[in-house]
A and B are shown apart, each in its own frame.
Chain A
Amino acid sequence: MNMKPKKTGGGSFVEQLQNNSVPIMFILICAVCIPISGFSPGYLVNEIMTRLGRNAFLILCLMFPIMAGMGLNFAMTLGAMAAEIALIFTADWQIWGIPGIVLAMILSIPISVLLGAFCGQILNRAKGREMITSYMIAFFMDGLYQLLVLFMMGPVIPILHSSLRLPRGYGIRNTVSLLHMRQSLDNLGAIHIGGVKIPVLTLVVIAIFCLFIVWFRKTKLGQDMRAVGQNMDVARDAGIKVERTRIIAIVMSTVFAGLGMVIYLQNMGNISTYSSHKQIGMFCIAALLVGGASVDKASIGNVFLGVILFHTMFIVAPATGAKITGDSMIGEYFRVFASYGVITVALIMYETKKRMAKGKIGQRLQLAQSEEESR
């Protein structure tokens, strides 16, 4: 008989409150800010829907490294860089609309695979310190990206259109227009309900990705990833190639981050060549954590709750700041503070929980030892 452990309510009320403290805090912030901001419900829903379509795919790509116990992948920026490079080529070759998006996605894949494999190799040498290492890799690769885009595009890598090049003749301009690609995916099959635009095709793509993740968890590779995530030594003893599995997790995350970045940028309609990718990892991770995920546990539900809460705060915070203090910059500061703060809180909570769990095990061992001695 297949005996599955029954899921219980998940502890006491206080425990539940502790576990969900971050989403609860953000629900409270939103509940306070929304009425003060004075935005109409229609406007808010429309904005949230736009941001859901824009960001959800990117955040979902963080699931694979968490599954493999590698924490929050700050190096998803690498995928974003790959997507930007692909989009620069697509814009230069004048491939517009949906074909342009598809081409950019395909072009980003090999670049993402290479960068992801490189990142995975490094992270395998920094086991237990994956997050800080991936964070530094993102910075280091940003330097290489700038070298490529600022100095090699033009003289080494042909860029045909002067509208993309800097006036000096080489390097790419600060902003690359994706006007002819703008919202092509979002507008195709979009429906309007009560003034709210629902980007059906984008949501379908996100839904397919969610289904893929659900399916992937049940595959051999998915099970291996979860086993590696729980305990690397046990997984290794069970015959799982731990290093290879971890590299695959990072490669998958990077590739999907690349695809997600294409979706993100087609919605925006332009690339900030030197800064689009920089904050994306931070904001995606913050959104995931706001949704109630932790460093070692995340679900698809966390992604959607996170996008809704985090971006609601993003929308209402400046207006609320302006209403309360007369300066919208206060709201801007607050949202930057909140996004970085939530990451810090999540990391502290993760470490505290780990230490508490260790402490409990130690106490039990001590108790068992003293019982044995008393006999």
Chain B
Amino acid sequence: MKKIPMRTLLFRVGAVLLLAVIAYSMTIIGRGHTVYMDSKRLDYNGQTYETPYKVVVYVNDEQVAKLYDKERGMSTWIGQNFSMTLEITQKKGGTEETQEVSLTLPRNMDGIILNLPALLAGLPEDAYLSEFVSAPEEEEKTGDEGITDEFGLTTTEELPAE
């Protein structure tokens, strides 16, 4: 077997390492999150935090939600450093107050719920941030489990239940 020259070997190992580093960095900077903003009254440590009359949420200069009491907005975000602009109207007919909010999103969570009253009151992370867990899906009988053949037809055979 022909011996590979050291320079070639180093170049190859270096290329593989470089690709691995790029791939790993992509998993960090490209981590996507769905952020849900809740305008919901919160009881924390015996104290109640009321919702403002209206909160308009801007993410990347784009309005993603206009929230009144007990309403939820949603936005998607890539990366960990989340920032949004909130236009808060405390009372009906009152003046708007703009607030910039920046926070670090946990990497292990896909869906993140932010409680806006808690966030605006400056409470700790465990008060304003929680994980969004979607309700378990009901088994669909849409034939999605079927395999399409080369003509694009789907088999209708039922798969054995687990």
> Interface of A with B (CB < 8 Å)?
93-100, 102-103, 106-107, 109, 146, 150, 161-162, 166-169, 171, 173-175, 180, 272, 274-275, 278
Contact = CB atoms under 8 A, between A and B. Distances in A.
B30 to A, nearest CB: 2
Contacts of B144: 166-167, 173-175
B30 A275 contact: no
A106 B76 contact: no
B27 A275 contact: no
B139 A96 contact: no
B110 A94 contact: yes
Interface residues of B, number: 28
Contacts of B23: 102-103, 106-107
A340 to B, nearest CB: 12
Given A95-B30, A167-B139, A180-B76, 4 more contacts: A95-B32, A99-B26, A106-B22, A106-B23
Contact of B147 (A96, A100, A150): A150
Chain A CB within 10 Å, residue with most, of B22, B78, B162: B78
A99 B148 contact: no
B72 interface: no
Chain B CB within 10 Å, residue with most, of A103, A161, A171, A274: A103
Contacts of A278: 150
B27 A95 contact: yes
Contacts of B139: 167
B137 A97 contact: no
B148 A103 contact: no
Interface string B130-162: 000000110110001111101010100001011
Contact of A169 (B19, B27, B147, B162): B162
A99 B77 CA distance: 13
Contact of B145 (A96, A109, A167): A167
A98 B147 contact: no
